[in-house]
């Protein structure tokens, strides 16, 4: 049994908000902006010194395709489209209709890689700052979620670790975009980690970037498992490489060991590029991500669990809030396994609103990779364009609930659809 210490302290309040969004990654930013644009007084809380989550602190990129399975038409619009268009105006992104596979932008991968969106992570930070400020979102960086105070199946307040000490925030509605379902777990929502039977999650990867690559000489995918994706600026690449296995993203010791191992892996992956890949002989390592990229953590038990069959068959839910089509890409869970585990998906599949509604907490929504879905199904839903669509849906739903004076589970789905379509979301 672990030794415990009783600790009690008052936490001064930052005030009361209509909607509090925890986590400033792709889903959290979109949730907060959408809520604020719909008239809600909104707070966005992020532990890092920047918004963007996996896309910025973890340097994950490019944005995977927002097109249907065969790359014929877009299935994600809304805030995702607005963000990448803003980026493209300053050469911070290449629009997906301007890329195809196989190419240097996809590390010569073909399946599910048509029309990816290469982007620059720093320029994305600037765009997300501007987007939240213009929408009137109150943003707190360098501030981490610690705990929540619940009464009668609802969150009354959250406790935050700010630079000035512990602080509290009260709110009417809360959206968990932490990437680990931290808020849901603290509120007593049933969750599980990783694969249903084994509990083993998908592995993590530490991304890094290089420059001074001779693009015209990069003609074939580097030696596996290294994958290099060219960014908008010539000669600059994001590198996705080896795996660290059986990492618990909710455990500090597990993440510490994994990140230390991943740092060592970066040097070997860089060697593969520098010594074995034509065009990379003069490449220089420019930066390594400050955060380990984790593909899987907790999943919540929600009012509906998206299944592998739903994704395979393209079940069209009446309460759908997002479309997607990326393959169920599950990276090997064990170092002894070979190849990624993929199951065929429908040309388009759908995410129901009910999968964002957790059990046991009435004023909480969850967006991003931790929504209620089977682990294998999450292999497709976990990527960032889908996270943005789910975040926008959660923000719109929360604002509608606040405006209507009802709980998130009781909002009008036709009204939610009307709001999302008016703001560029694709639902059909």
Question: What single DSSP character describes residue 216?
Answer: G
The more confident residue out of 89 and 330 is: 89
Round to whole Å and give the CA distance between 417 and 394: 12
Q: Is the pLDDT of residue 339 over 70?
A: no
Round to whole Å and give the CA distance between 408 and 394: 9
Please, are residues 77 and 426 in contact by the beta-carbon 8 Å criterion? yes
> What DSSP element (H or E) covers 228?
strand 227-230
Q: What is the mean pLDDT of residues 392-410?
A: 98
Angle at 103 between CA 99 and CA 104, to 5 degrees: 100
Please, are residues 33 and 135 in contact by the beta-carbon 8 Å criterion? yes
Q: What is the mean pLDDT of residues 316-328?
A: 96
Q: Domain residues of the chain, as ranges?
A: 13-99+115-196+297-330+352-422, 204-294
Q: Return the pLDDT at 340.
A: 66
SS3 content of the chain, % helix, strand, coil (to 5): 30, 25, 45
User: pLDDT (tens digit, 9 = 90+) per residue, 291-315?
Assistant: 999 999 999 999 999 999 999 999 9
Q: Return the pLDDT at 341.
A: 63
Q: Is the pLDDT of residue 278 over 90?
A: yes
Q: Is the pLDDT of residue 1 over 60?
A: no
Q: Is the pLDDT of residue 151 over 90?
A: yes
Other CB atoms closer than 10 Å to residue 186's CB: what's the count?
21
- pTM of the predicted model over 0.75: yes
Q: Return the pLDDT at 330.
A: 84
Round to whole Å and give the CA distance between 122 and 107: 21
Q: What is the mean pLDDT of residues 109-116?
A: 92
Q: Return the pLDDT at 241.
A: 94
- Looking at domain 13-99+115-196+297-330+352-422, its CATH architecture is 3-Layer(bba) Sandwich (3.50)
Q: Return the pLDDT at 3.
A: 86
């Amino acid at each position: 049994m672990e030794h415990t210490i009783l600790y009690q302290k008052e936490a001064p309040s930052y005030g009361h908000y209509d909607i509090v969004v925890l986590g400033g990654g792709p889903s959290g930013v979109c949730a907060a902006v959408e809520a604020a644009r719909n008239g809600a007084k909104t707070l966005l809380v992020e532990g890092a010194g920047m918004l963007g989550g996996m896309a910025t602190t973890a340097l994950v990129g490019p944005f995977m395709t927002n097109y249907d399975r065969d790359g014929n038409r877009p299935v994600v619009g809304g805030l995702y489209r607005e963000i990448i268009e803003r980026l493209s105006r300053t050469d911070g992104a290449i629009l997906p209709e301007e890329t195809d596979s196989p190419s240097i932008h996809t590390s010569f991968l073909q399946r599910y890689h048509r029309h990816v969106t290469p982007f620059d992570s720093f320029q994305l930070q600037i765009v997300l700052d501007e987007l939240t400020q213009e929408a009137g979102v109150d943003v707190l960086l360098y501030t981490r979620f610690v705990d929540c105070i619940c009464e009668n199946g609802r969150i009354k307040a959250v406790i935050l670790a700010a630079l000035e000490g512990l602080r509290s925030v009260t709110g009417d509605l809360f959206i968990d975009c932490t990437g680990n379902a931290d808020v849901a777990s603290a509120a007593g929502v049933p969750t599980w980690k990783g694969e249903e039977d084994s509990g083993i999650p998908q592995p993590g990867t530490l991304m890094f970037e290089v420059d001074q690559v001779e693009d015209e000489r990069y003609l074939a995918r580097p030696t596996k498992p290294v994958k290099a994706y060219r960014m908008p600026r010539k000669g600059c690449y994001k590198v996705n490489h080896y795996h660290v296995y059986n990492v618990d993203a909710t455990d500090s010791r597990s993440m510490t060991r994994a990140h230390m191992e991943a740092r060592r892996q970066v040097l070997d992956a860089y060697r593969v590029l520098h010594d074995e890949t034509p065009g990379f002989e003069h490449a220089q390592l420019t930066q390594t991500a400050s955060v380990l990229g984790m593909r899987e953590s907790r999943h919540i038990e929600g009012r509906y669990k998206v299944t592998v069959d739903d994704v395979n068959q393209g079940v069209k839910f009446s309460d759908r809030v997002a479309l997607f089509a990326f393959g169920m890409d599950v990276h090997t869970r064990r170092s002894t396994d070979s190849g990624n585990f993929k199951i065929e998906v429908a040309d388009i599949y759908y995410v129901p609103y009910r999968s964002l509604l957790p059990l046991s907490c009435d004023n909480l929504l969850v967006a991003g990779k931790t929504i209620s879905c089977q682990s294998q199904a999450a292999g497709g839903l976990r990527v960032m364009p889908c996270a943005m669509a789910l975040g926008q849906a959660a923000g719109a739903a929360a604002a509608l609930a606040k405006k209507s004076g009802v709980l998130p589970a009781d909002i009008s789905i036709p009204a939610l659809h009307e709001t999302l379509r008016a703001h560029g979301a694709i639902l059909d």
